[in-house]
Amino acid sequence: MATSDNKTADTDEKIFIGKGEQTAWLTLALANRHGLVTGATGTGKTVSLQVMAEGFARAGVPVFAADIKGDLSGISEVGEAKDFILKRAKEMGLDFQPDQFSTVFWDVFGEQGHPVRATVTEMGPLLLARMLDLNDVQEGVLNVAFRVADENGLTLIDMKDLRSLLDAIVPDSRKKSADAEEDPFAEIRKIAQSYGNVSKATVGTIQRQLLVLENQGGTKFFGEPALALKDFMKTDSDGRGMVNILVADKLMESPRLYATFLLWLLSELFEELPEAGDLPKPKLVFFFDEAHLLFNDAPKALMDKIEQVVRLIRSKGVGVYFVTQNPIDVPDKVLAQLGGRVQHALRAFTPRDQKAVNAAAQTFRPNPKLDTARVIMELGKGEALVSFLEGGGTPTMVERVMIRPPSARIGPITPEERKAIMSKSPVKGKYDTAVDAESAYEMLQKRVAGTAAPADTADGDAGAGGGIFGQIGSIVGTIFGTNVKRGRLSTGQVIARDVTRSVTNRVIGGVAADLGKAVGGSLGGSIGRSLVRGALGGLLRR
């Protein structure tokens, strides 16, 4: 919030952002009211993001941020007392103290950070359809596939599971002769057709879109061990919040995959975290860079859900900060939920640019001393128009400020420095080796080979998982109620899901991987059938 306070250091209640005629503070207790950082390329958005991330980390708030260009990685290394930094600090009355912050790097492709994985089931049909750019008919068939998987105990973990399931629901057009072999998928095809027409052409289109996603690296995203969101919400030994950086330079080559992945993360946070109300500080702050990709060509149903998540995730103790070039990139309904504003310079070379400038000016609480629209076009590098929420939850008048210099390094780190950080990571070894648990692909292959148990007895037999593991799956399913029809999850069912994931996450290596296949095939299958997907995927806890 902006005040006349002359203090220029972070406190237990506020983060010092910058200084002009007034000092700009971000109040921690109001930081879960979300925010927006905008400005043209090269005007200082990334530095503002780093300053905010550093302030949250000092206050013990974990941070998640996507790093598009690699510049944000410098937050992990000690800052350098360069002349321009010292000059800016002195002008603000700051005593520049170099600092660094505990950082965990994540990478969907597993190249520059720990792999980030989700199961196909967790992603859900709506987000997967968005990722694949499917039309309404194709999305409908995808929903049929998910329903068939639930009702037949076919656990969907990775891409080959989904591919094999789609193959299984395609109508069999072969002519049947007296000596023809029995169709192992006849029952599955019949169930699929009972939900509506599933044509070979539509399934073929979905399969081709899956190929496009695979070529973009999507295969590495789907699998196990799946990400446990609690690993984003940790503090270091000094009580500072961990800074989680998603390496997104390669991911940005597939914009739809990038946007859908971050939306999935938001939806999982929304589904999994309990209600927290108004806290002294957030549990987690989430920076969504290149936010316009989230809203581009999004269907109305998805837009409504995005708005709902942004509005309600505040009560879970999560602050969401969108970073983009123009305020008009964010729909009005979402923009209305964003309490803080950091507006860097915009250039008005076209009518659309002029519209963006006027729109940006109108989102601020007017300051009689400033012509906001004119100042937006005059801001220098590192300057911004700032307005945060104050005590009563109302925005302060817009102020022109110079953003404080970051304490950590500005700019990217070297591959050697990244390697050193990865070697000391608190989640080292947890996600680095993929586990191929028994799931839909293996189960359907058994049907073809004539060794799978019939679908109507898969819950109670050991056939799907084999031996003792099938019996364990049935017993645990009965105890926790996970082998019942779809419905609201009980506490026991949630525990069962978490226990299953915990076991799977630890099943690594040769012999252990085989154990994971057995657990995934029986216990994992029964739990999978009780999953209730919200519109954004994940488990419905509301």
**396-440: per-residue pLDDT in tens?**
999 999 999 999 999 999 999 999 999 999 999 999 999 998 999
pLDDT of 448 > 80? The answer is yes
Instruction: Please give the pLDDT value at position 245.
Output: 97
What's at 199, amino acid-wise? S
Look at the block and give the residue holding tokens 């076991």.
Answer: 503
Q: φ and ψ at 356, to 5 degrees?
A: -65, -40
Residue 456 to residue 451: CA distance in whole angstroms: 15
Look at the block and give the residue holding tokens 């057709």.
Answer: 193
Name the percent of the chain lying above pLDDT 70: 80
What is the tens place of the pLDDT at every residue in 344-385?
Answer: 999 888 888 888 898 889 889 999 999 999 999 999 988 999
Instruction: Please give the pLDDT value at position 363.
Output: 87
Instruction: Please give the pLDDT value at position 310.
Output: 92
Instruction: Please give the pLDDT value at position 255.
Output: 85
Looking at the DSSP bridge assignments, the partners of residue 103 are 243
Residue from 103, 55, 99 nearest 410 by CA: 99
What is the tens place of the pLDDT at every residue in 19-56?
Answer: 999 999 999 999 999 999 999 988 999 999 999 999 99
Residue-level length of the chain: 542
Residues in Cβ contact with 19 at an 8 Å cutoff, skipping those fewer than 6 apart = 8, 92, 93, 401, 402, 404
Highest mean predicted confidence (pLDDT) among 111-115, 291-295, 514-518: 111-115
pLDDT of 157 > 80? The answer is yes
**Mean pLDDT of all residues in the chain?**
82
Q: Taking phi first (over 0 means left), then psi (-120 to 50 degrees means alpha), and beta for anything else, what does residue 98 get?
A: beta
Lowest mean pLDDT among 3-12, 41-50, 63-72, 341-350: 3-12
Instruction: Please give the pLDDT value at position 461.
Output: 44
CB-based contact 365:396 (threshold 8 Å): yes
The token pair at 353 is: 């640019």
pLDDT bracket for residue 326 (50, 70, 90) = confident
pLDDT bracket for residue 180 (50, 70, 90) = low
pLDDT bracket for residue 517 (50, 70, 90) = very low
Residue from 289, 284, 252, 245 nearest 412 by CA: 245
Name the percent of the chain lying above pLDDT 90: 58
Task: Give CB contacts under 8 A, 24+ apart, made by 395-398.
Answer: 395/339, 395/341, 395/364, 395/365, 396/1, 396/2, 396/365, 397/2, 397/364, 397/365, 397/366, 397/367, 398/341, 398/364, 398/365, 398/366, 398/367, 398/370, 398/372
pLDDT of 484 > 50? The answer is no
Alpha helices in 222-283 (DSSP H): 255-272
Lowest mean pLDDT among 131-140, 247-256, 402-411: 247-256
Instruction: Please give the pLDDT value at position 4.
Output: 35
Residue from 159, 14, 81 nearest 408 by CA: 81
Residues in Cβ contact with 116 at an 8 Å cutoff, skipping those fewer than 6 apart = 106, 107, 108, 221, 227, 246, 261, 431
Instruction: Please give the pLDDT value at position 469.
Output: 46
The terminus-to-terminus CA distance of the chain in angstroms comes to 33
Query: Which parts of 399-445 are beta strand (E)?
Result: 399-403
Residue from 18, 239, 126 nearest 538 by CA: 126
Residue from 370, 361, 368, 366 nearest 397 by CA: 366
Buried b (16+ CB within 10 A) or exposed e, 340-349: bbbbbbbeee
Residue 15 to residue 182: CA distance in whole angstroms: 69
Q: φ and ψ at 181, to 5 degrees?
A: -70, 150
Q: Taking phi first (over 0 means left), then psi (-120 to 50 degrees means alpha), and beta for anything else, what does residue 118 get?
A: beta
Question: What does DSSP assign to residue 38?
Answer: E
